[in-house]
Structure 1
């Protein structure tokens, strides 16, 4: 982090209202440290080489965004996002911060669903052998699409 932003004006209600702006199709500029290609080179490679990169906005889709936790003293928030492919959550956090006339960044990110695969249907490594002993593997695998 190399910036300090004002936060005293931010409230739970302001965050909830601001999040509504991000539902639906939105224009989003990917983070410069991303795999987006710029003239055939990956943006992150150009940035690591010290070059400035200007990425163009792209249309992404946010189906749902929900504030699941808010700490007014620390000015931290947890949100749950359901979005279309190609949405950069780091950029979403950045844009939410800007919409709040402040700044924002991720301290954690947990993907809970990818396509038809959801975390609640997964088996942990700790329980995998036990699960495998109970049923044939081929009866339980889903083909990827």
Structure 2
């Protein structure tokens, strides 16, 4: 951690493990306040890729002149572990909104089904972001429209998925390891896999484990302690 304001402004990166139910902005604000107290001046800070409140894991923070390189980090590959519940869907594609059972049979995860899903969803695929997302539609965030009861069409967009591993934790609970590029929504991947299987699925847990070139992260408490003690 830099020892003086000028060194901090020169730029550095922090990879923090975002706590569950915190927004990415919550984390940025908390670290910004700690930096301001440490250096007795305001230091520019931003993040390189949002994590949903119900997700945990790596949130990369850029401080000082490192903020100029945020776009290059956002364009890099990311790795996630995700837990899916099959046999039901939700409007948000995760546990934020009520579950609606599909009433359809859940297939057993065989090698053939895993191979078929991998073949369909790996590579460049067209994906529609969830309506409960920060995608802008005519200047408004999609989640704002969804929460006000308005409907809006979100266009499909190409995303890159270069790694997809599937395992069963229970007959109706599967775990994914996903390696992907910028703009990929793991919630949409879960929903689309459920639709393809015919039984529906939604995301119950999501953790980001890597943002290239960062592979190690510190807890928020560790980051705050490091700022305070530097």
Unpaired segments of 5 or more residues in structure 2? Answer: 1-98
User: Are 1:122 and 2:217 counterparts?
Assistant: yes
User: Are 1:101 and 2:198 counterparts?
Assistant: yes
Tell me how many residue pairs correspond in the alignment.
Answer: 128
Q: CA RMSD in A?
A: 2.2
Q: Which residue of 1 aligns with 2:165?
A: 66
* Of 83-92 and 44-53, the range deviating more from structure 2: 44-53
User: Are 1:113 and 2:183 counterparts?
Assistant: no
User: Are 1:49 and 2:159 counterparts?
Assistant: no
Unpaired segments of 5 or more residues in structure 1? Answer: 138-145
Asked if the contact 1:5–1:103 (Cα under 8 Å) also holds between the matched residues in 2, the reply is no
Cα drift, residue 125 of structure 1: 5.3
Higher relative contact order (CA 8 A, sep 6+): 2
- Match of 2:163, SS state, is strand
Q: Distance in 1 between matches of 2:127 and 2:224?
A: 42
Question: Structure 2-normalised TM-score?
Answer: 0.50
User: Are 1:78 and 2:175 counterparts?
Assistant: yes
Question: Structure 1-normalised TM-score?
Answer: 0.77
Cα drift, residue 102 of structure 1: 1.6
Runs of 4+ in 1 over 3 A off after TM superposition: 123-130
Candidates 40, 48, 51, aligned match of 2:139:
40
